[in-house]
Structure 1
Amino acid sequence: MSKLVLRKVGKVFGDLRHPVHALAEIDLEVAENELAVIVGPSGCGKSTLLNIVAGLDRASSGSVLMNGIEITGPGADRGMVFQSYTLFPWLTVQKNVEFGLRIKGTPPGERRETALRYIKLVGLAGFENALPKTLSGGMKQRVAIARVLANRPEILLMDEPFGALDAQTRVAMQDLLLSVWEKEKTTVLFITHDIDEAVLLADTVYVMSRRPGRIRTRLKVEIPRPRDHRVTVSPEFASIKKEIMEMLWEESQGLNISD
């Protein structure tokens, strides 16, 4: 059984007189421990789709199942990492990572032990007592990832988490995510507009059409793991990237600038 299954998912905003069809007939499956990535043109509904999986929004049609059970709202089995860091500025790194565990009633000793483990995992050992304002953008996103992982979600949902970072930091964060995923084997559904990022990270890349967003194609990325940025110069990488670029170019034709 797949960890996550979407069947004929559609989303319509607005009213009956002025409907905006954001998503249509989305079919998608993510297996246990898979790292799946969605790419598509701007405005195709990628973030809307992720919000539906997170339970932050409801589909207008179709079904979204996790472990065979329909998703009807937010849950601790799904952890969300946004492009913005969403840290509490008045809490230290350790207290930010402990936050969800404290809400769940985890005993203090266990909270501390878990937080320190994930702080170390994302490469921030020594910064436990730092406040977010003293951290760089990449470090803040590491804290956000550690906080989500500390809650041990069954699936990690990532909405362009590295989109606000400079190029060098983004490369470092991509390699960090690959390293963390290799260790934790958490199921991941990742949204990005960056084709290189998609191919580097993914077991499977889903390419969406322009609005209303549909799954245009599903590509398996057979590049061996473990991976890092050295694979981006390989012929296999270039071939997959070219195929995705051509599909997105076709989708961009006729796309209004307001989309």
Structure 2
Amino acid sequence: MERIRLPEPISGGLLLSYRCTARCRHCMYACSPKWKEDWISEESLRKILTQLAGKIKPSPWGAENVSLNYGLHFTGGEPFLNFDLLRRAVEIASELKIPSTFVETNCYWCSEDNLTREKLKILKGKGLKGILISVNPFYLEYVPFERTERAIRISREVFGRNVMVYQAEYYVLFKKMGIKGRISVEDYMKATREKNLAKNVELFLMGRAAYELGEFYPRYPADYFFHEPCQPPFLRNWHNHFDNYGNFLPGYCG
């Protein structure tokens, strides 16, 4: 059997767990509240981070800054469901001098200003460089928009320019629409008369999306793709994921 050597990673994300507060229809890894609270152990956390130390490359703007496809991010699932573990992950990464670290969140926990500010300041104090805040119609089904707004506002106070809003165009649109609370994807599409979410939301046909968003794509039998190369390439050295079970998840393959 031919063995293929994995390329040395220059960036990526560490999944602390697949457990999440939401069950988003587009989720790459089919995360949900139904997953077991099978959080990564501190032993595995240190082992993986030690293996990544010295390999992860900083943002083009330097190790104290963040970029989507550089550095290392902590994700899930929803990492803020286990704040103590998230804090420990940041501490270990900082000890190992892993550059350009950030956390990815759906903001469910940002219920009031003081709590939001306190947690972000704790993480920054432990060495976290920035944050990525997820915004699109799928998250809006589960997270009140006021919490997303609060997360962005206070994150900018704490992390300055090291705040990534993904996707920023939806944040601007939701503010223009005056959205309060949560709304379903169907109600959002009615309000905006949007017919094809796949055109505007960055979607990857993997995980839950392949089952729940098929209406936006043409259908083909499996053998139609047998001779097609993976797009993007299956083996790459950037933005891969590493999960709480020790699995290597290449690219956007799921």
Is the pair's TM-score, using the shorter chain for normalization, greater than 0.5? Answer: no
Q: Higher strand fraction: Structure 1 or Structure 2?
A: 1
Give me the TM-score of the superposition, normalised by structure 2: 0.32
Give me the TM-score of the superposition, normalised by structure 1: 0.32
